[in-house]
Chains A and B, each alone.
Chain A
Amino acid sequence: MTHAVEPKVTLDLARGLGLTADEYDRIIARLGREPSYTELGLFSALWSEHCAYKHSKVFLRKLPQAGRRVLQGPGENAGALDIGDGWAVVFKIESHNHPSFIEPFQGAATGVGGILRDIFTMGARPIALLDSLRFGDPADPRMRRLIDGVVSGISWYGNCFGCPTVGGEIAFAPEYAGNPLVNVMCVGLVRADRIFRARAEGVGNPVFYVGNKTGRDGIHGATMASATFDEHAEERRPTVQVGDPFTEKLLLEACLEAMAAGVVVGIQDMGAAGLACCTSEMPARSGTGMAVELSQVPQREAGMTPYELLLSESQERMLIVAARGREAELQRIFAKWELDAVGIGEVIKGGELVVRHRGEEVAHVPIEALAEAPVYEKPFAAPAWLSERQSFDPLSLPEAADHGEALEQLLASPTIASKQWAFRQYDQQVGINTLVLPGSDAAVLRVKGTRRAIAVSTDGNGRHVFLDPRRGAAMAVCEAARNVSCAGAQPLGVTDCMNFGSPERPDILWQFAEAIEGIAAACRALELPVVGGNVSLYNETSGAAILPTPIIGVVGLLDDAGLLATQWFKGADERVALLGPEAVSLGGSEYLWTRHARLAGALAPLDLETERRVQAAVRAAIGAGLVTAAHDCAEGGLAVALAEACVTGHEPVGCEVTVPEGARRDLTLFGEGPSRVVVSVAGSRQREFEALMAESAIPWRWLGVTGGTGLRLRVGSATIVDLGLDRVEHAWRNGFERHMA
């Protein structure tokens, strides 16, 4: 029987699949003939921006990737770092922006599913998830539904699978209304000498398809993720995959069991571009070839064509290269977990991918050709409007008359306010590793059987990056690392998710290029290798791009889990200090947006050496047991950091603080700047702390004391903020939730 009539391969068809005329010509030149329909499908998926990083590759090379702890850098399913005692931490962040906009629940759910598989294909058991989400105004009912869909999707998948969601952030800006961001980071643990890789080693080794059956869902998801949206976006709903977290959980246990039994040689998740991606990338990494027979693929729909079987993005599937002679063992393990494990081919000599369907050859291409997507060096240039935006002086706006009221307003802004509404829908503790739950600067998870713990945080401020891509992106690295340092952990490495608009526009590509420079500079200064990540371009709807938003995930290590710190004040009569420079700016601040609905101005200066030293000082103070709380000053500046330290703990604790005189008061209170940390110090340790700070050679000052029933901020002898803790807490607790209730 022959399969359904296939469309004739033409330039128009190629264009319809997202290839350009140039790319189509290149394929013909490379093959020396017209590709078959199935082959064209392979090229269109593997040469998509999503799979091939065509526009971003030249920039990504600039990121530092080496370090003494790096066990696996970019190019595999995830990165891995050595954390001692024979353990490695495996982590990566990935976006699922496009699917989540089209179908929020399943889009977000399968985003979680995809990143979990990236971690456990490395042989690691996932121990933590973090979600970095960006939406438009939650007061808009349409946005509310979207937020609810995304949060329920994450909750459903992560909870059912059994991996705790321990952190992440949610921020809001109108630029995300037409294109929300759903970035998910996953962290796993594995014995350092038991890391698995996505390689097809050993000619003659059998190739097994394991997991869920293949259906027609998600065909051309990778291509969809490489295009911008218009008003017809919802018509693309069929390209969104449907998740099954229960099957994923079985797949996790079966894969880890098969790996432990020694029957797995190499393994890759069938994520974007499904089987097409696995059958070409795995042999490409090991210089081998692969032959597969598609009719063997477990299918849940009748009459699927070779094209559909190769490009389906059905979830919860893996491709395994098994050890020859151990096939029965592999099948027994998967049968125990009630999953399919079917031999569909073998590793072959030479660098060819040979795809057959019912014995008939439907694709036969050099694997190198599939891996050789064009690399573009497109022109980029700073947008003409930028200098005018940057030169705006926020101090030309009138000063707030009532700083207490301004602080309440800021605490109640959805970006700053408590996200408990979302987090209480996520299991935060399964695995009993979570020592610090969501709500502090970083989550902390113990490594059982050792004294160690890891700290994790994600960060990225689109407004900052919009106004100054290079400095803003560097500040995102610094802030994520600072969060980890505020938990007392040494930052070890970075994963980045680059969310931008269309790279075909010179101003967007310039944002991207500048942001990479900023990330690279900050990572070099803080000695943080970038071991993996993801690029999500074309985040635009009807020509309007999102704020350029690099999300930075940082993993850090505490040698002694007993010496961790959290962000909230622990009790009265402790001294409060501010570490770091005085320089702040209202440019791009949450205050300027919340109060004046403006996105303009210059960012505060960033000195990477000061940043490094402040973080080292914070860690040293925590490690010496001198500090009872440490909290990064981020959105909303010093006043918000102090308010959060007062009310985010189990019991609210007041404080009385005198802020520096000189600058305009709204700038001092709400101005944002890097390298600043608020700490509290027990009175009895004051001298030791002062000595340590003197040694650290960083700018710092005492601000005041904890205690009392309110948040009192003074300038000189004048009290400019005097809010009861109940009001502070009310503003912060309800600011976001009031929109969702």
Chain B
Amino acid sequence: MRFGVVVFPGTWSDCDFHYVVSEVIRQPVKYVWHRERNLDDLDCVILPGGFSYGDYLRAGAVAGRSPVVEALPEFLARGGLVLGSCNGFQILCEAGLLPGVLMRNECLQYRCQSTHLIVDNVDTPFTRALRPGQVLQMPISHGEGKYHVDAETLRTMRQRNQIVFRYATAEGQVTKAANPNGSLDNIAGIVNEEGTVLGLMPHPERAAESAMGGTDGLLLFHSLLGSLVEDGTFSKR
């Protein structure tokens, strides 16, 4: 499976994703410069964490209008998959590829900590190796991760099973105390209607080796690999 890791000015999880793809799951991977529009030789594009353009406007606002992001709809139409983590999630929302926005954390401070996520949707190429209700542990590291969307859209998202991960306790209880940033409904990760774009605030690449304290993040990559069927297209289940 061929991965592309996008690099914007100010991206910093690019090397980490690159390392996990090449050294842990041992798949072909290359960096994709933000001015690139040609994504033909890729199966999955990763938008990593960081502060693209310093996030001096709104987080992800400038990157959301960059050439590489403009090329994503066509890439998706061709059957590609897009995973955005942290700043990548913010960029996908800014670009309109995912619904909603990510606002300043309710505590008004940056948060770097371990979180537990309950899995609500296993019918996506990113989560097919998981069980419904499974609890994963992954770290977060952000200042603007409070997910918000209007009530109408939220209803639709629920109907369409677009909510994939929610912050929870280690036992899987979705509580206020388990919500690190004040996200609506404890939302940590969502997919688009088609299930081909995943955005999440936590960092799966930081939970992909036991030396780093856990391997739950690896399950996302394993799901992706398991989703690739022999003719080079993705199975959604």
- Which residues of A line the B interface, CB within 8 A? 152, 155-156, 159-162, 244-247, 249-250, 337-338, 423-432, 434-435, 437, 446, 448, 561
Q: How far is the CA of A338 from the CA of B35 in the complex (A)?
A: 13
User: Contacts A246-B9, A250-B9; is A429 near B211 (CB within 8 Å)?
Assistant: no
Asked whether B112 lies within 8 Å of A162 as measured between CB atoms, the reply is: no
Pairs A–B under 8 Å by Cβ, sample size 9: A155-B109, A159-B112, A160-B51, A338-B9, A424-B111, A428-B112, A428-B141, A429-B141, A431-B12
Asked whether A430 lies within 8 Å of B141 as measured between CB atoms, the reply is: yes
Residues of B near A337 (CB, < 8 A) are 9
Q: How far is the CB of B189 from chain A (nearest CB, A)?
A: 18
Q: How far is the CA of A505 from the CA of B55 in the complex (A)?
A: 47
Given A160-B55, A424-B109, 4 extra CB contacts under 8 A: A428-B112, A430-B12, A430-B13, A432-B19
Residues of A near B16 (CB, < 8 A) are 430-432
Q: How far is the CA of A247 from the CA of B143 in the complex (A)?
A: 19
Q: How far is the CB of B78 from chain A (nearest CB, A)?
A: 28
Residues of B near A435 (CB, < 8 A) are 211-212
Asked whether A162 lies within 8 Å of B211 as measured between CB atoms, the reply is: no
Q: Flag whether B234 is at the interface (Cβ < 8 A).
A: no
Partner among A246, A424, A425, A430 whose Cβ is within 8 Å of the Cβ of B54: A246
Binary flags per residue of B48-62, CB closer than 8 Å to A gives 1, else 0: 011101111000000
Partner among A156, A162, A429, A446 whose Cβ is within 8 Å of the Cβ of B50: A162
Partner among B12, B113, B139, B211 whose Cβ is within 8 Å of the Cβ of A561: B211
Residues of A near B19 (CB, < 8 A) are 432, 448
Q: How far is the CA of A2 from the CA of B231 in the complex (A)?
A: 73
Q: How far is the CA of A195 from the CA of B205 in the complex (A)?
A: 30
Binary flags per residue of B112-155, CB closer than 8 Å to A gives 1, else 0: 11000000000000000000000000010101000000000000
Asked whether B54 lies within 8 Å of A160 as measured between CB atoms, the reply is: yes
With both beta carbons as reference points, the residue of chain B lying nearest to A162 in the complex is identified as: B12
Q: How far is the CB of A274 from chain B (nearest CB, A)?
A: 22
Asked whether B110 lies within 8 Å of A245 as measured between CB atoms, the reply is: no
User: Contacts A160-B51, A246-B10; is A426 near B112 (CB within 8 Å)?
Assistant: yes
With both beta carbons as reference points, the residue of chain A lying nearest to B211 in the complex is identified as: A435
Partner among B10, B203, B211, B213 whose Cβ is within 8 Å of the Cβ of A160: B10
With both beta carbons as reference points, the residue of chain A lying nearest to B33 in the complex is identified as: A336
Asked whether A429 lies within 8 Å of B212 as measured between CB atoms, the reply is: yes
Q: Flag whether B206 is at the interface (Cβ < 8 A).
A: yes
Q: Flag whether B15 is at the interface (Cβ < 8 A).
A: yes
Q: How far is the CB of B71 from chain A (nearest CB, A)?
A: 19
Q: How far is the CB of B119 from chain A (nearest CB, A)?
A: 22
Residues of B near A427 (CB, < 8 A) are 110, 112, 141
Interface residues of B in 183-207 (CB under 8 A from A): 203, 205-206
Q: How far is the CA of A690 from the CA of B109 in the complex (A)?
A: 48
Partner among B56, B110, B212, B213 whose Cβ is within 8 Å of the Cβ of A246: B56
Residues of A near B208 (CB, < 8 A) are 432
Residues of A near B13 (CB, < 8 A) are 430
Asked whether A159 lies within 8 Å of B54 as measured between CB atoms, the reply is: no
Asked whether B10 lies within 8 Å of A250 as measured between CB atoms, the reply is: yes
Q: How far is the CB of A361 from chain B (nearest CB, A)?
A: 39
Q: How far is the CB of B57 from chain A (nearest CB, A)?
A: 11
With both beta carbons as reference points, the residue of chain A lying nearest to B13 in the complex is identified as: A430
With both beta carbons as reference points, the residue of chain A lying nearest to B143 in the complex is identified as: A159
Asked whether B55 lies within 8 Å of A425 as measured between CB atoms, the reply is: no
Asked whether B112 lies within 8 Å of A245 as measured between CB atoms, the reply is: no
Partner among B56, B111, B205, B211 whose Cβ is within 8 Å of the Cβ of A446: B211
Residues of A near B51 (CB, < 8 A) are 159-160, 162, 245-246, 249
Interface residues of B in 82-118 (CB under 8 A from A): 109-113
With both beta carbons as reference points, the residue of chain B lying nearest to A446 in the complex is identified as: B211
Q: How far is the CB of B87 from chain A (nearest CB, A)?
A: 11
Q: How far is the CA of A247 from the CA of B10 in the complex (A)?
A: 8
Residues of A near B203 (CB, < 8 A) are 429
With both beta carbons as reference points, the residue of chain A lying nearest to B11 in the complex is identified as: A162
Q: How far is the CA of A160 from the CA of B112 in the complex (A)?
A: 13
Q: How far is the CB of B4 from chain A (nearest CB, A)?
A: 18
With both beta carbons as reference points, the residue of chain A lying nearest to B17 in the complex is identified as: A432
Residues of A near B54 (CB, < 8 A) are 160, 244-247
Residues of A near B211 (CB, < 8 A) are 435, 446, 561
Q: Of A160, A430, A561, which is in contact with the most chain B CB atoms at under 10 Å from its CB?
A: A430
Asked whether A432 lies within 8 Å of B205 as measured between CB atoms, the reply is: yes
Q: How far is the CB of A113 from chain B (nearest CB, A)?
A: 13
Residues of A near B141 (CB, < 8 A) are 159, 427-430
Asked whether B206 lies within 8 Å of A429 as measured between CB atoms, the reply is: yes
Q: How far is the CA of A159 from the CA of B51 in the complex (A)?
A: 8
With both beta carbons as reference points, the residue of chain B lying nearest to A448 in the complex is identified as: B19
Q: How far is the CA of A594 from the CA of B105 in the complex (A)?
A: 35
Q: How far is the CB of A739 from chain B (nearest CB, A)?
A: 15
Binary flags per residue of B4-27, CB closer than 8 Å to A gives 1, else 0: 000001101101100110000000
User: Contacts A160-B55, A246-B9, A246-B56; is A431 near B111 (CB within 8 Å)?
Assistant: no
Q: How far is the CB of B103 from chain A (nearest CB, A)?
A: 17
Residues of A near B213 (CB, < 8 A) are 437
Residues of A near B206 (CB, < 8 A) are 429, 432
Q: How far is the CA of A430 from the CA of B213 in the complex (A)?
A: 14
Residues of A near B20 (CB, < 8 A) are 432
Residues of A near B56 (CB, < 8 A) are 246
Asked whether B15 lies within 8 Å of A431 as measured between CB atoms, the reply is: yes
Q: How far is the CB of B92 from chain A (nearest CB, A)?
A: 20
Q: How far is the CB of B49 from chain A (nearest CB, A)?
A: 8
Q: How far is the CB of B50 from chain A (nearest CB, A)?
A: 6
Q: Of B51, B111, B113, which is in contact with the most chain A CB atoms at under 10 Å from its CB?
A: B51
User: Contacts A159-B141, A159-B143, A160-B51; is A424 near B9 (CB within 8 Å)?
Assistant: no
Residues of A near B112 (CB, < 8 A) are 159, 423-429
Residues of A near B50 (CB, < 8 A) are 162
Q: How far is the CA of A246 from the CA of B57 in the complex (A)?
A: 12
Q: How far is the CA of A190 from the CA of B9 in the complex (A)?
A: 22
Residues of B near A338 (CB, < 8 A) are 9
Residues of A near B49 (CB, < 8 A) are 430
User: Contacts A430-B141, A446-B211; is A159 near B110 (CB within 8 Å)?
Assistant: yes
Q: How far is the CB of B212 from chain A (nearest CB, A)?
A: 6
Binary flags per residue of B207-223, CB closer than 8 Å to A gives 1, else 0: 01101110000000000
Q: How far is the CB of A336 from chain B (nearest CB, A)?
A: 8
Residues of A near B205 (CB, < 8 A) are 432
Partner among A161, A429, A448 whose Cβ is within 8 Å of the Cβ of B139: A429
Q: How far is the CA of A456 from the CA of B128 in the complex (A)?
A: 40
Residues of B near A249 (CB, < 8 A) are 9-10, 12, 51
Residues of B near A437 (CB, < 8 A) are 213
Asked whether B9 lies within 8 Å of A425 as measured between CB atoms, the reply is: no
Q: How far is the CB of B152 from chain A (nearest CB, A)?
A: 34
Q: Of A162, A426, A561, which is in contact with the most chain B CB atoms at under 10 Å from its CB?
A: A162
Residues of A near B9 (CB, < 8 A) are 246, 249-250, 337-338
Q: How far is the CB of B51 from chain A (nearest CB, A)?
A: 4
Q: How far is the CA of A247 from the CA of B53 in the complex (A)?
A: 9
Q: How far is the CB of A246 from chain B (nearest CB, A)?
A: 3
Q: Of B15, B53, B110, B209, which is in contact with the most chain A CB atoms at under 10 Å from its CB?
A: B110
Residues of B near A161 (CB, < 8 A) are 12
Asked whether A425 lies within 8 Å of B109 as measured between CB atoms, the reply is: yes
Q: How far is the CA of A427 from the CA of B16 in the complex (A)?
A: 14
Q: How far is the CA of A250 from the CA of B34 in the complex (A)?
A: 14
Q: How far is the CA of A584 from the CA of B208 in the complex (A)?
A: 45
Q: How far is the CA of A432 from the CA of B208 in the complex (A)?
A: 10
Residues of B near A426 (CB, < 8 A) are 110, 112
Q: How far is the CA of A434 from the CA of B141 in the complex (A)?
A: 14
Q: How far is the CA of A435 from the CA of B214 in the complex (A)?
A: 11
Residues of B near A247 (CB, < 8 A) are 54
Q: How far is the CA of A249 from the CA of B56 in the complex (A)?
A: 14
With both beta carbons as reference points, the residue of chain A lying nearest to B55 in the complex is identified as: A160
With both beta carbons as reference points, the residue of chain B lying nearest to A159 in the complex is identified as: B110
Q: Of B50, B112, B206, which is in contact with the most chain A CB atoms at under 10 Å from its CB?
A: B112
